[in-house]
Chains A and B, each alone.
Chain A
Amino acid sequence: MPLETIEVPLAGKVLKVNVNRGDKVTEGSEICTIESMKMENPILTPVSGIVKEVGVTPGQVVKPHETIAVIEY
């Protein structure tokens, strides 16, 4: 099964995390929200599958390319 790594697209602060390890997610569902540039940026999964890893927690300050989650699809 291939893995899709969802990375932080832009520097900001994690507002909330919607998934846990082992969760089943469907394409387009929201993984977390990152506040950046005065905007709330929902981070959506591009694939349907199982969450293998979650790399962020609420309140965390994140930089581009850090891992948000790894999805097996």
Chain B
Amino acid sequence: MQDNRQQELEAIAKRFGLSVGFVEAALSVKQAGTVAEKVEAFARERRLIEQGNPEAVARQHEKGRLTARERIDALADDGDFEELDSWHRPYETGFDIGEEAGQGDGVVIGHGTIDGRPVTIWAQDATVMDGTIGTVHARKVTMIMENALNARTPIIGIFDSQGLRAHDAIQYPDFYSFGSMAHFQTLASGVIPKIGLVMGPCSGELAIIAGLCDFIFMVRNTSYMYLMPPASSIDSQRLGDPWAVHAKIGSCDVLVENEKDCLLRCRQLLSYLPSSNTEGPPLVDTGDDPNRWEEELLEIVPVDSSKPYDMYKVVSLIVDNGEFFEIKRYFARNLITGFARLGGHTVGILASNPQSLGGCMTLDAADKMSRFVRFCDAFNIPLVWLCDTPAFLPAVDEETRGLIRHGSRMIMANSEATVPQITVTTRRRIGGGGLAMPGQCLGGDLLVAWPTFQSGLMGAEGAVAIMHRKQLAAISDETLRKQQEEKWIEEMQWGLDMQVREATQKIIDPRDTRPFLIKALKWLRNKKQDLPQKKHENFRM
């Protein structure tokens, strides 16, 4: 009798791809005589789903990775996560997928809070069929994306999947698929912040879904990301190595050392951002004095423009408590981008880095800048630029890789931004570099400079060589010509020196930079600027 019953349960378990324990729990739901008993029996089912397959959980831990639910626990406020659709099973394909307890179809979705503010989360569950994406998996993610968009909450996706599940993909229509996930990622772009945490494998089309996020985090050593399958000579971990993806390819925005750090940094990033494009970023009481006057700022920038200095130091002395959340730290190091607070209000900081390529603008820096400016503009975050740049880097491979395409995209992004924009030139604002850091002609609101300011299209020598070329050539005596040239250069230099004073709206005391910026941002807080009606601009790609 007992054996028969056990055999029946096993048959049902096999028929539905469930564990025997789960079928037992399901049986007690059936047999429950009261609502209270049903509640308890369903809760038992849910706990079994949440526990998952212990062997698969152990395998995940051996790889140095947490499970989907453990990650969510660390990400959301204590215990504040409502999981949805956990009972959903993969579609029956007629193929033996060789796994028990496929509940959830390899993804955990739901909503919770971070710092008390609502967020939507989906996390691929590598303990269920390696987190592979079947139709139900894709439908769950698509629908939670749509929910997040309608609810106007940030959405965080945690990527840990071996990709498409062939059993599903070859026979089900693709309405719920990578395509639908990509579509909703795109619709949500610029409406709600979208953060992708790549904490395991993320390859093929899934890498595009991650690519459509506003910010991508990657965990060193335990994650990888690539679009095209690797050639046989290189393994996945090397091709999609987080360091390379972060520093060289530039698609990873935040590189972290381990999973705990990843989830903590994600919480930190969200603290700077509004929940949607209809709100302003949250105001935080940082306790830092808005009138803080920094003596040290007087000593940092060398007057000799051949000497580099630490721009990170400048940033940290100006912003609240020196806290700076950097985006794309090692990609295009000649430009620094990231979030900070001034007087408790979030600002996006864009700063030249004279320690890298002399602070020149490059193609990669142009991409870094346009991406950051576009995000801040979409989410009502004012921009503060710290400018010390000579020009675009004169290099042949920059030009042949398409500097014009990338450069014009950057100018467009800067030019159409309507959030408050303040540029502080710490030293050089020369040649094309001036275009990169917006002054008033590019829609900027304020353009001020430190006393170390240098400006202009070219130096006095260059200008004399062009403007007095004919007169100089007409002087046959070399000594006389040299004398005349020096005289003109001195005159030209005086002209340039005077022009510098007009190329900025104000020369400010470096020590006063923080109070100045906080006051200016307060002045510009209600800035409203309408652009001409259009569908969208036509970016040069």
Q: Could you list which residues of chain A lie within 8 angstroms of chain B, going by C-beta atoms?
A: 2, 4, 9-11, 35-42, 44, 46-47, 64
A10 near B243 with CB under 8 A, answer no
Q: How far is the CA of A64 from the CA of B333 in the complex (A)?
A: 16
B247 near A42 with CB under 8 A, answer no
B305 near A2 with CB under 8 A, answer no
Chain B nearest Cβ from A39, distance in angstroms: 4
Q: Which of A10, A36, A42 contacts B355 (CB 8 A)?
A: A42
Interface 1/0 per residue, B391-416 and A, CB below 8 Å: 00111010000000000000000000
Q: Which of A2, A11, A36 contacts B358 (CB 8 A)?
A: A36
Q: Given the known A-B contacts A9-B356, A64-B395, A64-B397, are A46 and B247 also in contact in the complex, defined by CB atoms under 8 Å?
A: yes
Residue of chain B at shortest CB distance from A36: B358
For A40, list chain B residues within 8 Å (CB).
Answer: 306-308
Other A-B pairs, 10, CB within 8 Å; known A39-B358, A40-B306: A37-B358, A37-B360, A39-B308, A39-B390, A41-B358, A44-B355, A44-B356, A46-B247, A46-B333, A47-B243
For A10, list chain B residues within 8 Å (CB).
Answer: 357-358, 360, 393, 395
Docked complex: B339-358 residues within 8 A CB-CB of A: 354-358
Q: Which secondary structure characterizes the binding site on chain B? A: loop
Is there a chain A Cβ closer than 8 Å to B241's Cβ?
Answer: yes
A39 near B395 with CB under 8 A, answer no
B307 near A37 with CB under 8 A, answer no
Chain B nearest Cβ from A14, distance in angstroms: 15
List 6 A-B pairs, minimum CB-CB distance, nearest first.
A39-B358, A46-B330, A42-B355, A39-B306, A38-B306, A37-B358
For B330, list chain A residues within 8 Å (CB).
Answer: 46
Q: How far is the CA of A64 from the CA of B399 in the complex (A)?
A: 14
A41 near B243 with CB under 8 A, answer no
Chain A nearest Cβ from B141, distance in angstroms: 33
Interface 1/0 per residue, B355-373 and A, CB below 8 Å: 1111010000000000000
Q: How far is the CA of A47 from the CA of B394 in the complex (A)?
A: 27
Q: Could you list which residues of chain B lie within 8 angstroms of chain A, going by C-beta atoms?
A: 241, 243, 247, 305-308, 330, 333, 354-358, 360, 390, 393-395, 397
Chain B nearest Cβ from A7, distance in angstroms: 10
Residue of chain A at shortest CB distance from B354: A39
Chain B nearest Cβ from A3, distance in angstroms: 11
Q: Which of B243, B247, B355, B390 contacts A37 (CB 8 A)?
A: B390
Q: How far is the CA of A39 from the CA of B388 in the complex (A)?
A: 12
Of B247, B307, B357, which is in contact with the most chain A CB atoms at under 10 Å from its CB? B357
A2 near B395 with CB under 8 A, answer no
Q: How far is the CA of A46 from the CA of B70 in the complex (A)?
A: 31
Residue of chain A at shortest CB distance from B360: A37
14 cross-chain CB contacts under 8 A: A2-B241, A10-B360, A10-B395, A36-B358, A37-B390, A38-B305, A38-B306, A40-B307, A40-B308, A41-B356, A42-B308, A44-B355, A64-B395, A64-B397
For B354, list chain A residues within 8 Å (CB).
Answer: 39
Residue of chain A at shortest CB distance from B391: A37
Chain A nearest Cβ from B505, distance in angstroms: 27
Q: Which of B247, B355, B395 contacts A41 (CB 8 A)?
A: B355
Chain B nearest Cβ from A10, distance in angstroms: 6
Q: How far is the CA of A35 from the CA of B243 in the complex (A)?
A: 28
